Amino acid sequence: MSSYAGSLQYTARVKRNGDIVVRILGLAALICLSSISSIASAQNAADLVGTLRVTFQPMSAGGVLQGCSYVFQTVVQDYAYKGGELTLLDGSITYWTNDSSAGIGLKLGVGNNDASGKMVFNPPADAFIKTAHGSTARSARVQNASETPGYTMYSIGLDKQTSEVLKDMLDEVPFQVGFNRKKGGMDVYGSVDPQVAGSVKAGSGLQRRRSKEAPQAFLNCMDELLNASRKPSR
C-alpha cells in the first residue's frame, strides 16, 4: 500500500476513535430533482443554492468491500454559462481499491430544466474535487461516459493532491465539486456538505436536515478498507 493510503489510515483511525456519532431520528421527504423550478418561483433562487442531500454507499464485489462512496445532490447558480440559472449537480465520489491499485472515482451529471420544466442532465466537459488542502484538477485521470445518460465518470489516480483531498473528506466539512461545460471554459463550483442528510420544503424556503450519519459511515468504511489493504494476502 502506498504512503498516501497509510497516512489516510492513521487519519481515519484518529477520527473514528475521537468522535461521538450524532444521529438525528425521524424521516424527512427528500426534495424531488424536478421540483427545483417550482420552488424557485416561490422564493429567492439564492436560498436554494447548496447541498440538498448526501448519503453513504459502500461498494463491494463478491461480498468483499472495495470502495466507499458519498452520493450527493447540490444546487448552484451557473453564471458562467447559464446567466445564473439554477443547476443541479448530481453524482458520487468513491475511494476504491483492489489487489493492485487504488484511486478516486467521480461521477457527475449537470441538470437544468428545459422549456417544458423537465430536468435534463448533460455530462460536464471536465470535473474535479477541491478541498481545503487539495484538488484533483491536475491529477492523472481517465474520463469515460457513464452507463447513466447525461453523466460522465472520472477515474483519478492517487498522488499527493488526491491524498490531501481524501484526508480533508474525512473531516466531515464541506468540500467543492468543480465543473465546466466546455474544455478550457470557466469553472463552476458546487458545495457538498456531507452533514446534510436531506432537504424538504418549509413554507417558501428549504429546510436542510443535518446528521453525521453519512460522514461517520464513510469514515468507518475507509478505516475498514484501509485496514484490509494492509493485511498480507494469503
Map out the domains of the chain as residue ranges: 3-229
Q: What are 89-141's pLDDT values in tens digits?
A: 999 999 999 878 899 999 999 999 888 888 999 999 999 999 999 999 999 99
- DSSP, res 185: -
Nearest to 37 by CA among 91, 108, 109, 85: 85
pLDDT for the residue numbered 154: 97
What is the three-class DSSP state of 21?
coil
Q: What are 155-185's pLDDT values in tens digits?
A: 999 999 999 999 999 998 999 999 999 999 9
Nearest to 93 by CA among 17, 192, 15, 10: 192
Nearest to 203 by CA among 57, 26, 42, 22: 42
pLDDT for the residue numbered 98: 84
pLDDT for the residue numbered 233: 53
Contact 79, 46 (CB under 8 A): no
